[in-house]
Amino acid sequence: MSEYRVRVEPSIRSIPAATWDACAYAAPSANASAGAPKRLSGTDVREKSESKSQTLESALEAAESNSPVDPANPFISHAFLSSLEESGAATARTGWAGQHLLVEDAAGRVLAAMPCYLKNHSRGEYVFDHGWAEAFERAGGEYYPKLQVSVPFTPVTGRRLLVRPGPEMEAAREALIAGALQLCGRHGASSVHLTFVTGDEWRYLAGLGLLARNDVQFHWLNQGYASFDDFLAALSSRKRKLIKRERREALEGGVEFVRLTGAGLTEAAWDAFFSFYMDTGSRKWGRPYLNRAFFSIVSAKMADRIVLIMARRAGRYVAGALNFLGAGTIYGRYWGATEHRPFLHFEVCYYQAIECAIEQRLARVEAGAQGPHKLARGYLPVTTYSAHYIENAGLRRAVAEYLSHERAHVAAESEELAAVGPFRKDVAS
């Protein structure tokens, strides 16, 4: 690939925002799932390491060729990624050492970018490989460091191969993948993990021989509802009664809800929200990933793309949920409370977000990782995707076998969940 140069930047702040965002927000190619690159190495991804089993072929066919790719996904923006770095939340000190890849042509023009981190742990990723690490280390191997191509602490599907459109697009994408594999060897890393990639990227990477993995999240889809009551009317009677009861009880004691965005995102509001975040984060993770500085920094850079939903009682904030806006999606990220009242979580995180989406005519609500309990509240199962390159042949074979069984389980689980969905049988979801 002598006509291209792959450059590694340890700090995203050294990359001009306009340069990064020109790659991040370029329109994906119409043939984004075209054939595999011809010049890769990693011994051509270790001889296309995972053979195309029938299970994998079925999964690849099922991957949505037109899966939603938010053209304004906030998390791949320079503003969001630099906020994580500038605040100290995602840095080498916290185990997220930046190794961001840029592909340049002979004239020095940046054609592609990739958010990449060298990691010495597996925290904050939401695609769990702890078992792989433990098994490899029991066998005498060293799983860390590894390379993680992702948005830290953010289980949201989005483009990871940030390639600008044009005649050089396919070659630039090849150079990105080749660069990641070369970087893996340079650092003596055990593996490269591309997580929460789009369906098109997943098929492309699996075609190269990377190990294909998927999981399930729950998203709310707007079927053109005119109001929250219109949405409720589409649910089965039992689910409709459940949600009405939960919303009624969440409001008891004089609780009211406000949405803050833009200039309404004051430091006082962030102080209150941070106390909520720390309470929840300390109980769930032991040590929350984000610090107070992050919220001020990201607010300064992205205030118009943030919706902070806050619950207030007797003039005092008691709970809140942080949301980001894309082109047609509201993304629920963090929540917390200092008063733990029945169903307040569901109201702040799910129902208020649905109301916001209906009012703003947004297509979907993404409420984060995991949570089958969301199904009863109008959220439907959606497949998420990741791809993995593992250098060691023995570990690669073991993980490939494991993923074959896991994909079958995820597919069966998704079918079962969809079959017991919350909607009336006479309503197409």
- Six-digit token pair at 72? 């304004």
Task: Confirm if 89 and 124 have CB atoms less than 8 A apart.
Answer: no
Which residues, at least 6 apart from 50, have a Cβ–Cβ distance to it below 8 Å? 56, 206, 209, 210, 211, 212, 400, 403
Distance CA 31, CA 314 (A): 56
Q: Which residue shows structure tokens 């009012």? A: 359
| Confidence label for 34 from pLDDT (cuts 50, 70 and 90) | very low
Residues 382-406 as b or e (16 or more Cβ within 10 Å = b): bbbbbbbbbbbeebbebbbeebbee
Which residues, at least 6 apart from 94, have a Cβ–Cβ distance to it below 8 Å? 88
Summarize pLDDT for 196-230 with one digit per residue, the tens. Answer: 999 999 999 999 999 999 999 999 999 999 999 99
Summarize pLDDT for 268-301 with one digit per residue, the tens. Answer: 999 999 999 998 766 665 678 999 999 999 999 9
Backbone angles phi, psi at 103, to 5 degrees: -110, 125
Summarize pLDDT for 15-33 with one digit per residue, the tens. Answer: 999 999 999 998 655 444 4
Flag whether pLDDT at 168 surpasses 50. yes
Distance CA 339, CA 318 (A): 6
Q: What is the DSSP letter of 74?
A: G
Task: Confirm if 184 and 143 have CB atoms less than 8 A apart.
Answer: no
Number of helices (H), then strands (E), belonging to the chain: the values are 14, 15
Q: Which domains does the chain have, with CATH numbers?
A: 5-217+381-417 (3.40.630.30), 223-362 (3.40.630.30)
Interval 257-262 mean pLDDT: 97
pLDDT at residue 371, rounded to an integer: 81
Summarize pLDDT for 95-148 with one digit per residue, the tens. Answer: 999 999 999 999 999 999 999 999 999 999 999 999 999 999 999 999 999 999
Residue 281, helix vs strand vs coil: helix
| Confidence label for 57 from pLDDT (cuts 50, 70 and 90) | low
pLDDT at residue 368, rounded to an integer: 86
Distance CA 144, CA 338 (A): 37
pLDDT at residue 56, rounded to an integer: 65
Give me the chain's average pLDDT, please: 90
Identify the bridge partners of residue 319 per DSSP, sorted by sequence position. 311, 337
Which residues, at least 6 apart from 67, have a Cβ–Cβ distance to it below 8 Å? 157, 198, 199, 200
- Six-digit token pair at 255? 């609780």
Interval 78-89 mean pLDDT: 98
Q: Where are the alpha helices (DSSP H) in 139-264?
A: 169-187, 199-208, 228-233, 237-250
Identify the bridge partners of residue 238 per DSSP, sorted by sequence position. none
Flag whether pLDDT at 47 surpasses 80. no
Model pTM above 0.85? yes
Interval 347-355 mean pLDDT: 97
Flag whether pLDDT at 44 surpasses 70. no
